[in-house]
Amino acid sequence: MTRLKALNPETTTGKSKELFDGIQNKLGTVPNLMKTMGNSPAVLQGYLNLSGALLVVYKI
């Protein structure tokens, strides 16, 4: 079975790098779950959009 590896935010390029930079600025770190999701920028972007929507709905 293939395993996904967590990406290193310092060496990642492209859309994942842009998303990692935004996460780093907001949280101060990039959690391992998000580093792994970075293998597919679309998945990471979708996760961030969902998280943001839930924060608005629940006014957190």
| 31-48 confidence digits (pLDDT tens) | 999 999 999 999 999 999
CA distance 39 to 36: 6
pTM: predicted TM-score of the whole model, two decimal places: 0.88
Q: How many angstroms separate the Cα of 16 from the Cα of each of 23, 33, 36?
A: 10, 13, 10
DSSP per position, the chain: ---PPPP-TTT--HHHHHHHHHHHHHHSS--HHHHHHTTSHHHHHHHHHHHHHHHHHTT-
pLDDT tens for each residue of the chain, 60 residues long: 889 999 999 999 999 999 999 999 999 999 999 999 999 999 999 999 999 999 887 776
